[in-house]
Amino acid sequence: MAGRIPQEFLDRLLGRVDLVEIVNTRVPLRRAGREFMACCPFHAEKTPSFSVSPRKQFYHCFGCGAHGNAIGFLMAYERLEFPDAVEELARAAGLDLPQTPGGESGPSLKPLLEWIARADRFFRQQLREHPLRQRAIDYLRQRGLTGQIANTFGIGYAPPGWENLTQALREAGASFDDLVAAGLTGRDEQGRPRDRFRDRIIFPIRDRRGRVIAFGGRALDGDTAPKYLNSPETPLFHKGSELYGLYEARAHNRQLQRLLVVEGYMDVVALAQHDIAYAVATLGTATTAEHVERLFRSVSDLVFCFDGDRAGRAAAWRALEVALPFLRDGRQAGFLFLPEGEDPDTLVRGEGRAAFERRLEHATPLADYLFAELRAQVDPDTLAGRARLAQLARPLLEKLPDGSFRDLMDERLRQEAQVANTRLRPPASTVASPADRNLRLTRTPLRKAIALLLYRPELARQTTDDPLALSDDGEPGVKLLANVIAVLRANPQLTTAALLERYRDTREGAILERLAAWEPGVPEQDYRFEEEFGDILASLGRRDDLRERLPDILLRRGSPRALSVEEREAVGNLGKAKKV
């Protein structure tokens, strides 16, 4: 949903809260040198590799790679979505959330939510009272649904006719534009208002807070096309990020362990009828990264359920590709292909809950599915075929986050391809020691300079002249370094955590978060931050390829110069606006 939490508020919030305290109330911490340690709450382990840095206000797990600031911790630990984590932190810090125009409680979305809530009541009332309601009730009964489950999901009925809902809401004061914006009404060729949903069973689609934001409709007449119809994209409803049934599944069980991803709302409701109350459905779109991210925020175990036909297999492969970047340690994904002609609805009605759940237990693990599909594309009996297998697998495995799952997958590829000397990464049989990690993280001077800045944001004050001159350079690391310097110069009070927050969900953010794990290998007072940072900047300026373009980024010690108006604007554009 559109709406922003102002950057200044996030800065202030992250400057106010203490991550050590936030973590410690949930996962007891022990001091270890500069940091605090605990056994990681995000993967199973016996020796602590989860560290929290009070200076950086950042946590990092050397075992599974989990990391983030206070907002990220609450999102991961309490399984909250971004705005809820911010709200929770703000409450704990005693700050009032700013109410911004265009925000969820701003003026633009509120009337839409109200009209949709009224439409929801209208559809439910029709299911109870409309003269033709029996057809709808017969359909639901025939699908094995009780009144109770229909009620849980708020199922309703849109009667036949062109203007039932439109008229009812117009009488209640809605303007035609309101109803179009809410996705409830359209116009026909003659320009007459037309209800979007006619003679359909109605499935309200709820957002993460349980508010109805859209509808799905299943045609009652077998000849009506399309059989399934959803609300259009509206300011409230984005198909690519919403999941039908997620709110209901979480409301049913706050300690969900597993979610099953199916294709239709009838599947979700039918499964819930058989006590499998943990299914969700995408809404007429392929699985997106946003879907997977939301799902993994709720559970660590996903099973994707698809038809066994060609279309189902193609959709499953797409889901696999989308899921790979989210498979950090402790998370898993499996694939269940249904027998010909069955869907979850027919299957669970036919064989019952226990048999269906046994299928879930035997879902194909993602790793098996991935290699089976690739093997089917090559001739694994020949050397050329195995080389091709490695070639196909490598870009997929590259998408996996660092961690032991990725190491296992690399190892598995080595076995599958039976190539002794590939250019794969060596397996990390043990967790990297801090020294190895530092080496790996900071193998270029650019990365080292950024890591130093993330450790000590005040180093940015040492730079003079125009750090943004760097951003014209083609080298991505240079651009990022310039960005970071510019942001820190414009906002000298930023903590590492607040700095990282500005890059949330960006490619740059992923790089910065990894570099934020860097630690000086010696006691702080023995480490010469300023000198090292200065040397790197100076050496960057001396490089031939940089020197011409960047004559003036050499480090000078002195008071920071105020940014020009243009610089401020450029800096303002760097931080990504937050979606609420």
Residue numbers at the binding site for Zn ion (CB under 5 A): 40, 42-43, 61, 63-64, 66
Shortest gap between Cβ of 44 and Zn ion (angstroms)?
9
Identify whether 426 is preceded by a cis peptide bond (ω within 30 of 0): no
Q: Cβ of residue 331: shortest distance to Zn ion, in angstroms? A: 11
DSSP 56: T
The residue (of 43 and 297) whose beta carbon lies closer to Zn ion is: 43
47 versus 148: smaller Cβ distance to Zn ion: 47
Q: How far is the CB of 295 from Zn ion (least distance, A)?
A: 19
- In sequence order, the 6+-apart residues with CB closer than 8 A to the CB of 334 are 301, 302, 303, 304, 360, 363, 364, 365, 366, 369
**Surface-to-core class of residue 380, CB atoms within 10 Å of its CB (0-12 exposed, 13-18 middle, 19+ buried):** middle
Q: Could you tell me the smallest distance in angstroms from the CB atom of residue 475 to Zn ion? A: 32
d(CA 519, CA 51): 11
Task: Report the C-alpha gap between 580 and 504 in whole angstroms.
Answer: 13
Residue 63 or 245 having the CB closest to Zn ion: 63
Which residues, in sequence order, are CB contacts of 202 under 8 Å at separation 6+?
Answer: 123, 155, 156, 157, 158, 215, 216, 217
- The H or E element spanning position 215 is strand 212-219
Say how far residue 328 (Cα) sits from the centre of its chain: 13
Q: Computed from CA positions of residues 371, 45, 495, 525, in that sequence, does the dihedral angle turn out positive or negative?
A: negative
**Strand order across the beta sheet in which 258-262 lies:** 279-281, 258-262, 301-307, 332-338, 364-365
Choice between 42 and 58, CB closer to Zn ion: 42
By beta-carbon proximity to Zn ion, the closer residue of 63 and 156 is 63
Are 168 and 222 spatial neighbours (Cβ–Cβ below 8 Å)?
Answer: no
431 versus 511: smaller Cβ distance to Zn ion: 431
- Give whichever of 24 and 224 is closer to Zn ion, judged by the CB atom: 24
At closest approach, how far in Å is the CB of 47 from Zn ion? 11
- Of residues 47 and 525, the one with the C-beta less far from Zn ion: 47
Phi, psi torsion values for 158, nearest 5 degrees: -100, 110
Q: Which is nearer to Zn ion, 63 or 467 (CB)?
A: 63
* CA pair distance 353, 259, nearest whole angstrom: 15
CB of 39 to Zn ion, least distance (A): 8
Q: Report in angstroms how near the CB of residue 64 gets to Zn ion at its nearest.
A: 3
Min dist CB 434 to Zn ion, Å, is 15
- Closest approach of Zn ion to the CB of residue 329, in Å: 6
**Helix (H), strand (E) at residue 35:** strand 35-38
Tokens of 154: 């708020």
For residue 232, the tally of other CB atoms under 10 A from its CB is 14
Cβ–Cβ under 8 Å, residues 184 and 138:
no
Return the number of other C-beta atoms located less than 10 Å from residue 527's C-beta.
16
Cβ 38 to Zn ion shortest distance, Å: 10
Report the nearest approach of Zn ion to the CB of residue 59 (Å).
10
Q: Which is nearer to Zn ion, 43 or 208 (CB)?
A: 43
Angle between helices 82-93 and 70-77 (to 10 degrees): 120
Residue whose CB is less far from Zn ion, 40 or 236: 40
